[in-house]
């Protein structure tokens, strides 16, 4: 199965998520058959999502292909001597590593499963189910579609929606009517560096820490109102929650990192193109239908101007992702001579992905994704979280678990900056 050009430039790692289930005396499935239930239903769901049971392989030294060879996925059963309560508030930490399947990226790519799952049973009777899914094959929307359908089958329910597996829909216009100079594809440029630095190696080495920062519904509305009250005149539509909160995160990070006024800084944004294409892609298009764009500014401008300014930079980057722009990116990638530039892009992204650490940030939105309520037959989870989140500048915005309109920012920053970030993050809402 040929991969799209968006698959080609995706990060070559697996994205982990983890679901926590409390102890119960009323399992719908006896405890000793939980693993059997997962294994049997996983076999059934892979009939529909069969690309996940295949393997990647290289073509021409730079481009990837999906070999649907049915080699299967990895399912692990584990026991843990701890109790779920020992994990506290479930903030992602190094403790999570043993709860998540580990991928050996030193193996040939043809041997690495695209999906790995781990069931871990705790001393208290609680369990976790964790997933790592290859980002070179699917994006978050597709991964969560798979997980929700798997849970349905595990409960004996029928499949709700078949995945749309034909990736040819996400292709360039043929013949190309686009000028190669029509757009500048900034997402393939190296991220900004700290003033005076020639690489980001020093920043990559610094100690990081993580936090889960909750925003109540009232705080979310306050930020959105503040951004809209101060938006520049050329921005006609009101800002979304994502644009307001991401602008707030960006400004808070610039302050916490104590940047010089003229420090260039970038904000990495993932945009789902399913509904932006003309005609739109099927909602259940299975693959990578996201494009990374970069909003840029100077730290001093972000700090001295009100929130509406930062949000305007984010809006402008997102609004630039039109169907014509997406096709121009595909055109650009398809016409790379000798794949040498594609290899540069792979090197830029590598197994670690692009570095959005100091002086940059990356904020991914999971606000609208079906994250919660994953029931395999023993009740809904008590919590779900991104598995590991330990690269400076990476952050996620997730819906609050209680369904009360709150949101959670899962954030990783250099340890020396985190306390200042929290201070600015909350104080500036009210100031």
Query: Residue ranges of the chain with pLDDT lower than 50?
Result: 172-176, 178, 181, 338-341, 343, 346-351
Which of 330, 327, 310, 288 lies closest to 428 in space, CA to CA? Answer: 310
Q: Give residue 353's domain range.
A: 192-430
405, burial (CB in 10 Å: exposed 0-12, middle 13-18, buried 19+): middle
Same domain, 98 and 213: no
Instruction: Report the DSSP beta bridge partners of residue 397.
Output: 365, 409
Domain boundary among 169, 204, 232: 169
Same domain, 36 and 109: yes
Is 375 annotated in the active site? yes
Domain at 398, CATH number:
3.30.559.10
Q: Is the domain of 145 the same as that of 203?
A: no
What pLDDT, in 10s, does the model give residues 349-363? 444 556 789 999 999
Output DSSP code: residue 221. H
Please state the domain count of the chain.
2
Taking alpha carbons only, the member of 107, 123, 207, 151 closest to residue 17 is 151
Q: Measured between alpha carbons, how far is 205 from 392 in angstroms, rounded to an integer?
A: 10
Q: CA-CA distances (angstroms) from residue 314 to 34, 273, 298, 357, 397?
A: 45, 16, 13, 18, 15
- For 409, counting Cβ atoms within 10 Å of its Cβ (0-12 exposed, 13-18 middle, 19+ buried), the class is buried
* Residue 104 domain flag: yes
70 shares its domain with 39: yes
> In the beta sheet, which residues pair with residue 120?
78, 128
End-to-end CA distance of the chain: 53
- Whether 157 and 243 share a structural domain: no
187 occurs within a structural domain: no
State the CB neighbour count (10 A cutoff) for residue 184. Answer: 8
Place of tokens 């929700």: 148
287: left (phi over 0), alpha (psi -120 to 50) or beta: left
Which member of 344, 375, 420, 428 is catalytic?
375
Q: Which two tokens stand for residue 53?
A: 């049971």
Q: Are residues 145 and 201 in the same domain?
A: no
Sheet holding 394-399, edge to edge: 208-215, 407-414, 394-399, 361-365, 264-272, 290-298
* 280 and 376 share one domain: yes
Residue 21's SS3 state is: strand
Same domain for 421 and 292: yes
Look at residue 148 and tell me if it is in a domain: yes
Q: Is residue 61 part of a domain?
A: yes
135 is a catalytic site residue: yes
- Same domain for 277 and 245, yes or no, is yes
């Amino acid at each position: 199965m040929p991969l799209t050009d968006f698959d080609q430039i995706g990060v070559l790692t697996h994205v982990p998520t983890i679901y926590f289930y409390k102890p119960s005396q009323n399992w719908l499935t006896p405890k000793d058959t939980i693993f059997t239930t997962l294994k049997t239903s996983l076999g059934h769901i892979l009939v529909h999502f069969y690309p996940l049971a295949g393997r990647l392989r290289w073509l021409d030294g730079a481009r990837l292909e999906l070999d649907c060879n049915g080699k299967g996925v990895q399912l692990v059963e584990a026991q843990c001597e701890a109790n779920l309560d020992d994990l506290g508030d479930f903030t992602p930490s190094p403790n999570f590593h043993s709860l998540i399947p580990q991928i050996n990226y030193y193996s040939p790519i043809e041997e690495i499963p695209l999906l790995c799952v781990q069931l871990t049973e705790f001393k208290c009777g609680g369990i976790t189910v964790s997933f790592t899914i290859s980002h070179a094959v699917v994006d978050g929307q597709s991964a969560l579609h798979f997980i929700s359908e798997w849970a349905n089958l595990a409960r004996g329910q029928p499949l709700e929606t078949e995945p749309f597996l034909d990736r040819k829909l996400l292709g360039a216009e043929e013949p190309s009517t686009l000028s190669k100079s029509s757009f500048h594809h900034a997402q393939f440029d190296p991220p900004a560096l700290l003033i005076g630095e020639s690489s980001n190696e020093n920043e990559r080495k610094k100690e990081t820490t993580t936090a889960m920062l909750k925003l109540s519904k009232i705080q979310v509305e306050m930020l959105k109102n503040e951004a809209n009250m101060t938006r520049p005149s050329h921005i006609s539509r009101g800002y979304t929650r994502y644009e307001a909160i991401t602008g707030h995160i960006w400004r808070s990070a610039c302050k916490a990192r104590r940047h010089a006024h003229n420090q260039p800084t970038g904000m990495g944004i993932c945009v789902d193109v399913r509904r932006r294409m003309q005609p739109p892609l099927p909602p259940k298009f299975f693959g990578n239908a996201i494009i990374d764009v970069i909003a840029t500014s100077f730290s001093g401008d972000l700090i001295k101007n009100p929130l509406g300014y930062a949000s305007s930079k984010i809006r402008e980057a997102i609004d630039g992702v039109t169907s014509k722009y997406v096709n121009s990116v595909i055109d650009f990638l398809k016409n790379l001579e000798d794949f040498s530039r594609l290899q540069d892009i792979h090197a830029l992204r590598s197994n670690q992905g692009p570095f959005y650490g100091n002086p940059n940030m990356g904020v991914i939105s999971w606000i609208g994704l079906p994250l919660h309520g994953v029931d395999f037959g023993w009740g809904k989870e008590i919590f779900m979280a991104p598995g590991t989140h330990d690269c400076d500048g990476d952050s996620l915005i997730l819906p609050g678990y209680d369904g009360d309109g709150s949101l959670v920012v899962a954030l990783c920053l250099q340890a020396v900056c985190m306390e200042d970030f929290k201070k600015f993050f909350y104080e500036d809402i009210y100031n």
